């Protein structure tokens, strides 16, 4: 799959080590006391339309699976840990320095991606 506008988050993905769109969202959400419409009013406008649509569709699917977590064991944290690397993380972003290809570096990037996706999913559910 190739995303329009390059990597997830578009042009702004290159700032703040590839997390520019997320950093802006997290700050705006915090400054406005975590409103219930933060996902649609503060996050989606930061993303190119095709990326926003992809994210909404993916979160709709994840929330449907998580709604049945008692039966399937796929709670939101587990879902985010499984899918985060492919949703919000990529070498193209410069999230990982290719000269530092250690397990620890990969794990740290994956863990951050997981936390970012879970935060976004919780904002979506809110």
Whether 76 maps to a domain, the answer reads yes
User: What pLDDT, on the 0 to 100 scale, is given for residue 29?
Assistant: 94
For 28, 85, 102, the CA distances from 80, given in Å and listed in that order, are: 22, 9, 22
- Residues near 33 by beta carbon (within 8 Å), at least 6 away in sequence: none
With 0.85 as the threshold, say if the pTM is over it. no
Whether 102 maps to a domain, the answer reads yes
Q: Which residues span the domain enclosing 47? A: 10-125
Whether 95 maps to a domain, the answer reads yes
What stretches of the chain show up as alpha helix (H) in DSSP? 20-31, 38, 49-66, 69-72, 76-88, 103-125
Whether 4 maps to a domain, the answer reads no
User: What pLDDT, on the 0 to 100 scale, is given for residue 96?
Assistant: 45
Whether 54 maps to a domain, the answer reads yes
Whether 1 maps to a domain, the answer reads no
Whether 64 maps to a domain, the answer reads yes
Whether 38 maps to a domain, the answer reads yes
User: What pLDDT, on the 0 to 100 scale, is given for residue 104?
Assistant: 85
Half-sphere exposure of 88 (CA within 13 A, CB side): 29
Q: In whole angstroms, what separates CA 118 from the centre of its chain?
A: 7
Q: What is the pLDDT along the chain (126 residues), one digit of tens a residue?
A: 566 666 666 655 445 556 788 889 999 999 999 999 999 999 999 988 888 888 899 899 888 888 777 787 777 788 888 888 777 765 444 444 555 567 887 788 888 888 999 999 999 998
Please state, in angstroms and rounded to a whole number, the distance separating the CA atoms of residues 111 and 91.
15
Tell which residue, 59, 58, 37, 39, has the closest CA to residue 47: 39
Tell which residue, 86, 84, 89, 92, has the closest CA to residue 115: 84
Domain count, the chain: 1
């Amino acid at each position: 799959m190739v995303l329009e506008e390059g990597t997830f988050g578009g042009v702004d993905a290159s700032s703040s080590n590839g997390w520019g769109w997320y950093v802006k969202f997290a700050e705006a959400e915090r400054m406005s006391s975590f409103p219930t419409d933060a996902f649609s009013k503060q996050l989606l406008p930061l993303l190119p339309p095709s990326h926003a649509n992809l994210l909404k569709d993916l979160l709709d699917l994840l929330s449907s699976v998580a709604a049945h977590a008692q039966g399937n064991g796929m709670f939101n944290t587990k879902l985010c840990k499984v899918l985060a690397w492919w949703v919000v993380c990529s070498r193209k972003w410069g999230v990982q320095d290719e000269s530092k290809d250690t397990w620890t570096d990969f794990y740290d990037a994956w863990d951050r991606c997981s936390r970012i996706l879970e935060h976004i999913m919780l904002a979506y559910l809110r």
